[in-house]
Amino acid sequence: MPDPVSPTSSTSRVGLILQQLDQLPTLPAIAMRVLHVASSDTSSVKDVCALIETDPALTTRILQLVHRADSGISGEVTSIERAIVMLGFESVRCAVLAVSVFATFEPASAASSTFSRQDFWKHCIATGCAAELIAQQLKTNWGRSAVVEPATAFTAGLLHDVGKIALDAAIPKSFARVVEATDMLRGNIADVERNVVGIDHTVVGKRLAEKWQLPAAMRDAIWLHGQLPQALPASVRNDRLVNIITLADILVREQHLGYSGNYTFPIPRQILLDALGLLPQQLDDICAKLVDAIESRARTLGLGSTEAQDLYRQALQQAHQELSRVTDQLASRNRKLSMRAKYFEALAAFQSELRPDAPPGVVTHAIGQTAAAVLETAVVAVFSMPPGVGYAEVTLVDRTGERQQSHLIEMSPPVESSADAVMPERPVPGDGPVLAVGPNLEWLIQAFSPRLAGTGRYWICLEADGICIGGVVWGAEAGEAQRLSGQIQELSALTGGWSLALRTCQIRDEARALSEQLADANRRLQSVQSEVVRTRMLTTVAEMAAGAAHEMNNPLAVISGRSQLLASTLSDPRDKRSAELIFDKSQKLSDIITELMHFAKPQPPQIAPTPVSAIFDAAIEQAKGHSPIADRQIEVRVGDVPMADVDAGQVGSALAEIVLNAIQATDPAKGRITLTASFDAFSHRVVLSVTDDGCGMDDHVLRHAFDPFFSARTAGRRQGMGLPKALRWIESSGGSIRLESRTGAGTCAIVVLPGARQAKDNPVLRASQGS
């Protein structure tokens, strides 16, 4: 870009340029004279004719020009005077003007090497011709109201870029820079002129027009051509002429006729057509006639060396050159774009594969697919290696998109590792995106190399915070890095995306694992807490029971003692019986308190190997003592079960409570209770079950079955301490109870007890258990 020009230097330079313009040659006297003769002034016209005819060369040229311009009457025009009669003074005046201007800026006097005057004049003539044709068409369309004479349009078109030639003549070096810059930028020459010299050719042209005292309409066409019709100042008298010149200029440049030094078409054709009242078809006709018209005019003006075919050829050549230049640019841009498009497509495919909650396997697969696409290889291996873990997850991806299985490779060496096993170590990020596989990826290569193409092994490191968190490994022939060197930028961008996606899902995975661990810890904490609550409750019950035992037993002792004394003194049997009842019940109350204390603070268990059958026998015996068996069937099935390491008395009593519950839940006539024992060798535990076909329990009862004083029987309730006591006793022997029950379907109590430690290997104990 040209250096920006400061306002002061710009102003002074503009002044300098204008000064230079003053030194430009004036129009020949004859042209000046012609310009200032009014067509109505017949005597003056005659004077001018005479003046022209004094210059035979000029006369010939003008006659030729007039002749060509209006071929229909050409044969009759043989003198200037005749021409004026036939064509009107205006046409003659234009011809004089055109010829004079050309004479002023002789093609040979070109000062600039880059600015081709020859081609430039061709552009000017072409614009003049086009303007003339447009004006003719308008005249056909609109008749006399068309306002613009074709001859005037031609002259205006011819002179519309006179400012450029003036600049070239006045400041050839600066103007050469302008032309170069415009060529390079393929921009609007007026913008560059303003940037480089501080003034553009339209203003220069206006000044020149003023100096030459050209008619105002012509001056405006030179000054304002190229402007939008709507943007023209109100002071412009003949805006139609300006629009004709603008349209002609665009038309000629589109046809690549001559060289204007301008590359932009700022105004759409249609706007000008609308402004002028011209049809697109008419414009096409004008274009068709244009080349012939130019040829004849160019010849007339001394530029006639070019034939119509030449002009076409040159135009075509020029158009072709320009086209090929543009094509070259487009092609290189296209190559770049198509390569980028490949990456964009890959990126789009990659993103469509990803879900917000995609696990690492899905992400590595998506990475693998896009990698296979952009690297143009069939199979890639993608590995994910979250920071701080001892393994890598490797996904092999086929370009067909078929998802291969993911493999986990442990990084920490197993104890009995064979000598040749290669342990994965965390690779380190390299300099560029495309790296040759080094020894630190040997673990992956060893496992997957046969699946990869080519002989060379390459990889792209996916990193986060400077740590390798994964990578893409593929196979290719040597020189892969060279092949991809033109795509480094795109590959790096894609790699960044991959890394981000992989790290995100790794973090999500870590968070998921963490939340699972937390949930697990929470669960464990919860169960511990419920255990703590239960223990605290039992402690409270124990303290309460102990306090109650002391506080209540004294009054109870008095009640009990006094009732006994009473009973022994009373003679009436009914009174005696009442006193005895008081004694009994106070004793019963005392028993409840004692039981509560025992529940809260059980006796330490006396653990000893105990045969299961003995436990069952004791339990059934105790249960029978509380509730009659009646016709219920009790079946005991004890297989080959080792002894249990328990407190025989407590566990027996616990089982008795369970059997008692079973008895009370079943029908006395046909109830069925089954006691079984089995052995879980894995946990080394003895599993007892007591199953009944009784009334079962609903959820509410089941949930509270082990709560002290809870009883399902609202009427005739027992103490509600049976199962709670059983649980305490079994727990103190290191066992556990689980209840399974459904209303109407019976209940199954499963009691798990620790197996005797030596029982398994001690035949004596086994034998005694069997007996």
| Chain residues in the site for other proteins (CB under 8 A) | 546, 549-554, 556-562, 564-565, 568, 586-587, 590, 594, 597, 601, 603
d(CA 346, CA 370): 5
Smallest distance, Å, CB 588 to other proteins?
10
In the chain, count of helices (H) and strands (E)? 27, 13
Between 575 and 640, whose beta carbon lies closer to other proteins? 575
Sort 84 into a burial class: Cβ within 10 Å, 0-12 / 13-18 / 19+. Answer: buried
Smallest distance, Å, CB 652 to other proteins?
18
Q: How many residues does the chain have?
A: 771
Between 489 and 594, whose beta carbon lies closer to other proteins? 594
Amino acid at 644: A
Report the 3 state secondary structure along 668-710.
CCCCEEEEEEEEECCCCEEEEEEEECCCCCCHHHHHHCCCCCC
Smallest distance, Å, CB 621 to other proteins?
23
d(CA 744, CA 584): 37
Sort 764 into a burial class: Cβ within 10 Å, 0-12 / 13-18 / 19+. Answer: exposed
Smallest distance, Å, CB 706 to other proteins?
24
Between 553 and 674, whose beta carbon lies closer to other proteins? 553
Decide if 94 contacts 151 (C-beta within 8 A). yes
Between 25 and 561, whose beta carbon lies closer to other proteins? 561
Strand partners, 754: 685
Between 451 and 585, whose beta carbon lies closer to other proteins? 585
d(CA 241, CA 259): 22
Smallest distance, Å, CB 594 to other proteins?
6
Amino acid at 649: G
Smallest distance, Å, CB 583 to other proteins?
8
Between 433 and 652, whose beta carbon lies closer to other proteins? 652
Q: Which two tokens stand for residue 432?
A: 């560029």
Smallest distance, Å, CB 596 to other proteins?
12
Q: Which two tokens stand for residue 302?
A: 């001394």
Q: Which two tokens stand for residue 5?
A: 């020009």
- Alpha-carbon distances of 466 from 430, 431, 499, rounded to whole Å: 10, 12, 11
d(CA 364, CA 85): 91
Between 26 and 568, whose beta carbon lies closer to other proteins? 568
CA–centroid distance for 608 within its chain: 70
**SS3 at position 453:** coil
Give the strand order in the sheet containing 403-410.
403-410, 391-398, 379-384, 467-476, 456-464, 435-436
Decide if 768 contacts 702 (C-beta within 8 A). no
Smallest distance, Å, CB 585 to other proteins?
11
Placement of tokens 């079994």 in the chain: 730
Decide if 738 contacts 670 (C-beta within 8 A). no
Smallest distance, Å, CB 547 to other proteins?
10
Contacts 24+ apart (CB under 8 A), 760-764: 760/642, 760/684
Smallest distance, Å, CB 732 to other proteins?
14
**SS3 at position 411:** coil
CA–centroid distance for 146 within its chain: 60
d(CA 383, CA 367): 10
d(CA 122, CA 303): 8
Smallest distance, Å, CB 553 to other proteins?
3
Between 233 and 547, whose beta carbon lies closer to other proteins? 547
Between 580 and 731, whose beta carbon lies closer to other proteins? 580
How many Cα neighbours within 13 Å face the side chain of 410? 6
Residues 6+ apart with CB under 8 A from 743: 695, 696, 697, 698
Smallest distance, Å, CB 558 to other proteins?
5
How many Cα neighbours within 13 Å face the side chain of 417? 12
Smallest distance, Å, CB 560 to other proteins?
3
Smallest distance, Å, CB 543 to other proteins?
12
CA–centroid distance for 339 within its chain: 19
Between 349 and 548, whose beta carbon lies closer to other proteins? 548
Between 551 and 698, whose beta carbon lies closer to other proteins? 551
How many Cα neighbours within 13 Å face the side chain of 98? 35
- Alpha-carbon distances of 769 from 252, 364, 605, 613, 670, rounded to whole Å: 119, 60, 20, 7, 31
Between 648 and 675, whose beta carbon lies closer to other proteins? 648
3-state helix, strand, coil split of the chain in percent (to 5) is 60, 10, 25
Between 296 and 560, whose beta carbon lies closer to other proteins? 560
Between 506 and 563, whose beta carbon lies closer to other proteins? 563
Between 99 and 721, whose beta carbon lies closer to other proteins? 721
Between 527 and 554, whose beta carbon lies closer to other proteins? 554
Smallest distance, Å, CB 728 to other proteins?
16
Smallest distance, Å, CB 521 to other proteins?
38
**SS3 at position 484:** coil
Between 6 and 603, whose beta carbon lies closer to other proteins? 603
Decide if 160 contacts 127 (C-beta within 8 A). yes
Smallest distance, Å, CB 622 to other proteins?
20
